[in-house]
Amino acid sequence: PEWAPAEPLCPSVLRARVLAGQAKTVHSPGRGAINKMNKRWRQHPPTVRFRELYREFIRECILPLVDDGTGKVVYQAEPALRCVMPGAHFPTPLHRDVEYLHSPSEINFWVPITTVGGTNSLWTESEPDKGDYHSLDVGFGEMVQFWGNQVRHYTVPNDTTTTRVSFDFRVTPFSMYEEYSKELQSKCKESRVFALGSYWALMER
């Protein structure tokens, strides 16, 4: 596909098509072109509407689950949209989120938009270091909550005939975020990435 199509192209879909061998680029578009494409996607009306619904979802469904009595929750400002087409492309390696400076107080939520299972899903262990890896078999309209910070998880090549579409995000109770944020700031400069208004946003009742 062209890097500036008539309709803004979802970066996740473009990446999935390239990995599946269904799309190729004749040359590197450069950082400027990529930023322009991403900006068009973020400003696209359906994308704007999705973010509005996402915030409503956080307020109405997630906040009541993790409210620590403050009436507030810190949540991932932009959910990760994922599209994985059938094929043997490189999967997500085994990992825990703590390996990427994430707080142990974080809770992961995974929302498949398509029915998933087997190789067309996320694989995880049931408890930290238990090693009993299994696929999360989830139907449309269902959501998975898990402790990705300490529970190891990964994906495998999708050898089904179905494309997996999902979004996921992390949340943390407000009081625990404040504590971890101060600790992280004293340790490394990367802490600014996890500041409110950047990676994180605040939701109140």
Considering the domain architecture, whether residues 102 and 177 belong to the same structural domain is answered as: yes
Site of tokens 């059938």: 86
Name the helix (H) or strand (E) containing 123: strand 122-124
pLDDT tens sequence across 119-132 = 999 999 999 999 99
| Gap between the Cα atoms of 85 and 91, Å rounded | 11
What is d(CA 13, CA 83) in angstroms, rounded to the nearest whole number?
6
- DSSP letter string over 16-64? HHHHTTS---SS--HHHHHHHHHHHHHHSHHHHHHHHHHHHHIIIIIHH
Q: Tell me the residue range of the domain where 32 lies.
A: 11-43
- Mean pLDDT for the chain overall: 87
Does residue 61 fall inside a structural domain?
no
With respect to residue 5, please indicate whether it lies within any of the assigned structural domains. no
Give the pLDDT of residue 11: 78
Based on the fold, state whether residues 78 and 114 are members of the same structural domain.
yes
DSSP H or E run through 75:
strand 72-76
3 state SS of 192: helix
> Do residues 36 and 91 share a domain?
no
Query: Per the structure, how many domains does the chain have?
Result: 2
Whether residues 36 and 78 share a domain: the answer is no
Evaluate whether 145 touches 107 at the Cβ level (below 8 Å): yes
- pLDDT of 33 reads 72
> What gap in Å lies between CA 167 and CA 163, rounded to an integer?
13
Query: For residues 8 and 57, which has the higher predicted lDDT (pLDDT)?
Result: 57
Residues 34 and 127 reside in one and the same domain: no
Contact 21, 88 (CB under 8 A): no
**AA letter at 161:** T
Q: Are residues 78 and 165 in the same domain?
A: yes
Of 148, 1, 20, 152, the closest CA to residue 84 belongs to 20
Q: What's the confidence (pLDDT) of residue 22?
A: 72
pLDDT in tens, 115-171: 999 999 999 999 999 999 999 999 999 999 999 999 999 999 999 999 999 999 999
What does pTM read for this prediction?
Answer: 0.86
Please indicate, yes or no, whether residues 73 and 32 belong to a single structural domain of this protein. Answer: no
Name the band, by pLDDT with cuts 50, 70 and 90, for residue 28. Answer: low
- Verify that 192 and 155 share a domain, yes or no: yes
Instruction: Please report whether residue 51 resides in a domain.
Output: no
Asked if the model's pLDDT at residue 108 lies above 50, the reply is yes
129 and 186 co-located in one domain: yes
